[in-house]
Amino acid sequence: MRWPPRFFGPAANLFLATALQVMLAVSAQAHSGSSALPPPGIQIPSLTHGQMAVIARYRGDILDVARRQTVTAPTFRRLYNHGNLQFTYCLWGLMPGSLRDEESPFNECSHAYLATAKALLTHMATMPSAAREAKALISDIDADMVRSGASWILCQYSGEAFSTGAVVVPRWRDMFFHLPSLAVVLAATAALMTAAWSIFGARRACDV
């Protein structure tokens, strides 16, 4: 049988990804940037809560510029790969409230991947092949941040710096106390059980 089975929908796949990462959380939790100074690696400046929302709107544009670069250096690649890894750990930004809700167990990891996107853009502004596009994006982002007063909107993670040497994982245990996140997990579980029942129940009926 191919894996994942074709009958798994987006909700079920989200549940499977969540379940896999929960199993890894015990070992990965030690890498969280909330309890210690960032380990050795490329240091990534902190991002305020207000800046997060602005960077999130431009993250696709930042990555578009990055993907077009054919000549790169280690710093670029580490920032780019780390940002994508953080985005995956944060379940691709799909969990409700991960950007705006400070109580979301996914808020800290959202800070991490968006801070990395901003650091990547800042680095690209120093690269001859990307400087023009990167600086134009920086101007647009700066203007957007001024209009929204982004620098003044803070939360508990606004002063936290990150590093390519550590992965910030969601606070998995808090999912059971954050109703929007819990609702998604329960809905994904129900979808998975329904899909499994429809497949294996149908096969059992055919065997009778």
Using the predicted structure, report yes or no on whether residue 114 has a pLDDT greater than 50: yes
Q: Where is mean pLDDT largest: 6-10, 44-48, 198-202?
A: 44-48
Using the predicted structure, report yes or no on whether residue 157 has a pLDDT greater than 90: no
The mean-pLDDT minimum among 1-5, 11-15, 171-175, 177-181 falls in 1-5
Q: Where is mean pLDDT largest: 13-27, 36-50, 164-178?
A: 164-178
Report the sign of the C-alpha dihedral through residues 181, 183, 186, 189, in that order: negative
Report pTM. 0.74
Over the Cα atoms of the chain, what is R_g? Answer: 20
Q: Does 115 map to a domain?
A: yes
| pLDDT given at position 181 | 74
Query: pLDDT tens for residues 173-207?
Result: 888 887 777 777 777 778 788 877 777 765 655 55
Spatial CA neighbour of 41 closest among 85, 71, 72: 85
What average pLDDT does the segment 58-74 reach?
Answer: 96
Domain count, the chain: 1
Q: Does 165 map to a domain?
A: yes
Whole-angstrom Cα distance, residue 171 to residue 25? 9
Q: Does 78 map to a domain?
A: yes
- Strand runs labelled E in 81-196: 162-163
Q: Does 4 map to a domain?
A: no
Using the predicted structure, report yes or no on whether residue 47 has a pLDDT greater than 50: yes
Q: Does 5 map to a domain?
A: no
Query: pLDDT tens for residues 117-130?
Result: 999 999 999 999 99
What average pLDDT does the segment 151-161 reach?
Answer: 80
Q: Does 56 map to a domain?
A: yes
| pLDDT given at position 36 | 52
Spatial CA neighbour of 123 closest among 167, 83, 165: 83
Whole-angstrom Cα distance, residue 32 to residue 122? 24
- Structural domain including 107 reads 10-32+42-207
Q: Does 200 map to a domain?
A: yes
Whole-angstrom Cα distance, residue 170 to residue 154? 19
Q: Does 2 map to a domain?
A: no
Q: Which long-range contacts (CB under 8 A, 24 or more apart) does 137-143 make?
A: 137/58, 137/61, 137/62, 137/65, 140/58, 141/54, 141/55, 141/58
Helix or strand (DSSP H, E) at 44: strand 43-44
